[in-house]
Amino acid sequence: MRNTVLLLSLFAVGGLFAEEIIKRPIDNDDVRVLDVVVQPHEKTKMHDHKVNRVMIYRNAGVQNFEYEGGRKSVLKFGDNEVKWSGQEGVHAAEVVSAKPVNIVEIELKKPGAGKTITTALDPPKVDPKHYKVVLENDQVRVIRVTFGPHESAPLHEHQLNRIILYLTDARTKTTSADGKVEETPYKAGDIVARGGAKHSEVNMTDHKVEILVTELKY
């Protein structure tokens, strides 16, 4: 799906930020993914979120929150940090660090079903060097994938539907269980949706590749 890029004003749809760049790379029955660039010191209007979200902060920064009723909180995050955001009520938000912050928000459209992983080829089990779980609950499991130059992963299986965010440029070669070979390049910031798969893979580049995989447990 082609990305839709919107420059929002105070009177645009939602009207949360004075100026905000939003891409919507994925919007299907399971999730809506927003790729947002938030400017410093552009405070949102009071609003709430009707669904739970996985938040991926592409840049380090600090964000202040003010909640209906007067409660306040401060959120600090590092480069490419993953955080869980539940439905916390009506609030306003403001990035108070000096630089713009790119946030990838994965809005979860369905309640958690707690679907379990049953395969013996679960990536974090068969290859813990490259696949590490960084967040897990009854709706999602988020895995950080890191390959050094030309490193490879053995045969493994993805059982759940996935949202994949490429943190770096990547070119991986996958070989499916039935021998089909695919080699696909991606750019840092690309976001794609994938279903189940069983394959091995190789980093075909001369640099480290980092990927975040959000698996949907429904």
Across the chain, what does the average pLDDT equal? 92
Co-location of 129 and 88 in the same domain: no
Query: In this structure, what CATH number is given to the domain that contains residue 128?
Result: 2.60.120.10
- Structural domain includes residue 127: yes
pLDDT digits (tens, 9 = 90+) for 181-190: 999 999 999 9
Residues 131 and 71 grouped into a single domain: no
Residue 178 lies in a domain: yes
The answer to whether residue 47 sits within a structural domain is yes
Instruction: Report, as an integer, the average pLDDT of 65-81.
Output: 97
CA dihedral 217, 142, 126, 152 (to 10 degrees): 130
What's residue 21's pLDDT?
82
Q: Say if residue 4's pLDDT is above 50.
A: no
Residue 156 reports pLDDT greater than 50? yes
For residue 117, name the pLDDT band (cuts at 50, 70, 90): very high
Residues 56 and 127 in one domain: no
Let me know whether 11 and 103 are in one domain. yes
What is the tens place of the pLDDT at every residue in 27-42?
999 999 999 999 999 9
Whether residue 216 contacts residue 31, with contact meaning beta carbons closer than 8 Å, is answered with yes
28 vs 211: CA distance, rounded Å? 21
Site of tokens 């660090």: 97
Average pLDDT over residues 141-163: 98
Mean pLDDT calculated for residue range 139-164:
98
Q: What's residue 19's pLDDT?
A: 54
Q: Looking at the predicted structure, is the pLDDT value of residue 14 above 90?
A: no
Q: Could you please report the per-residue DSSP string of 85-144?
A: E----SEEEEE-SSS-EEEEEEEE-S----PPP--TT-HHHH-TTTEEEEEE-SSEEEEE
Distances (CA, A) of 153 to 127, 179, 204, 206: 7, 15, 12, 16
Domain boundary among 78, 108, 138: 108
**113 domain residue, yes or no:** no
**Which of 80, 108, 136 is a domain's end point?**
108
pLDDT at 5 over 50: no
Above 60 in pLDDT, residue 12?
A: no
Question: Is 0.75 topped by the overall pTM?
Answer: yes
Higher pLDDT, 9 or 163: 163
- Backbone dihedral region for residue 80 (phi beyond 0: left; psi -120 to 50: alpha; all else: beta): left
* 141 & 102 share domain: no
Domain end residue (candidates: 79, 108, 137):
108
2 has a pLDDT exceeding 70 = no
Residue 95 has pLDDT above 80, yes or no: yes
Residue 9 has pLDDT above 70, yes or no: no
Let me know whether 92 and 137 are in one domain.
no
Q: Is the pLDDT of residue 153 over 90?
A: yes
Q: What is the mean pLDDT of residues 159-164?
A: 98
Task: Tell me: do 133 and 71 sit in the same domain.
Answer: no
Answer whether residue 114 is part of any domain.
no
pLDDT at position 6:
38
Q: Are 20 and 102 contained in the same domain? A: yes
The answer to whether residue 116 sits within a structural domain is no
The residue segments making up the domain with residue 84 are 5-108
Q: Structurally, how many domains does the chain consist of?
A: 2
Residue 39 lies in a domain: yes
74 and 163 belong to one structural domain: no
Residues 135 and 83 in one domain: no
Q: Is the pLDDT of residue 15 over 80?
A: no
Q: Does residue 21 lie in a domain region?
A: yes
136 lies in the same domain as 176:
yes
| Three-state secondary structure call for residue 196 | coil
Q: Are residues 23 and 100 in the same domain?
A: yes
